[in-house]
Amino acid sequence: MIRTVLPHLRAQGGGRVLQVSGEGGQIAYPGFSRYHATKWGIEGFVEALSKEMAPFGISFTMVEPGPARTNFVGGVVQPEPIEAYDGTPTHDTRDAALGGDWVITGDPVRMVDAMIATADAPEMPLRLALGATSHTAIREALMARIIALDAQREIALSTDCTPEELA
């Protein structure tokens, strides 16, 4: 869809694209690896594309809703559980999702309203977290990544060529 619309947006001198992703493009739940691979993939694609299209006045927002009161879980194809995963985080996630233990607070109508308001705003953010669950989970994941990255600083810097080697 994006490939099809870009020539039209370039020809008209700009435009806006909202790409639905999900909190799953910033975080990862055990047992949802294939789902997260698609979300992280689309987020990398759109982030790079947003930089490529900025000179043409084309902006992008990745919409990252958290769980919403839809039939999403009802549409998830789940294979039979594997006994080896009993008692693991994967098992716990599956039980919570299928057992109804997750309290889903996201309102899909309010989420759509927020998307429309964002598209109509003078400036669009690159990412738009929707719902308290999404905001909290993404923030926690980003903070954990920053802490992990900072802990690696010395190792990261040690792998560069020295000024003498570059001379």
Q: What CATH number is given for 2-166 in this structure?
A: 3.40.50.720
Task: Decide which of 89 and 42 is more confident.
Answer: 42
pLDDT 10s digits, 94-142: 766 666 667 777 789 999 999 999 999 999 999 999 999 999 999 999 9
113 with 48: CB under 8 angstroms?
A: no
Q: How far apart are CA 45 and CA 110, in angstroms?
A: 27
pLDDT band at 84 (very low <50, low <70, confident <90, very high): confident
pLDDT 10s digits, 149-162: 999 999 999 999 99
pLDDT band at 77 (very low <50, low <70, confident <90, very high): low
Q: Is the pLDDT of residue 18 over 90?
A: yes
pLDDT 10s digits, 24-36: 899 988 888 888 9
Given 29, 33, 35, 51, the catalytic residue: 35
Task: Decide which of 93 and 149 is more confident.
Answer: 149
Reply yes or no on whether 29 is catalytic.
no
pTM over 0.85: no
Report CA 96 to chain centroid distance, whole Å: 21
Given 29, 39, 59, 134, the catalytic residue: 39
**3-state SS record for the chain:** CHHHHHHHHHHCCCEEEEEECCHHHCCCCCCCHHHHHHHHHHHHHHHHHHHHHHHHCEEEEEEEECCECCCHHHHCCCCCCCHHHCCCHHHHHHHHHHHCCCCCCECHHHHHHHHHHHHHCCCCCCEEEECHHHHHHHHHHHHHHHHHHHHCHHHHHHCCCCHHHHC
Reply yes or no on whether 59 is catalytic.
no
Please report the pLDDT score of residue 40 as a whole number. Answer: 95
pLDDT 10s digits, 37-73: 999 999 999 999 999 999 999 999 999 987 766 766 5
Please report the pLDDT score of residue 81 as a whole number. Answer: 74
Delimit the domains of the chain by residue range: 2-166
Given 21, 50, 59, 134, the catalytic residue: 21
Q: What percentage of the chain reaches a pLDDT higher than 90?
A: 66
Reply yes or no on whether 33 is catalytic.
no
Q: How far apart are CA 165 and CA 12, in angstroms?
A: 49
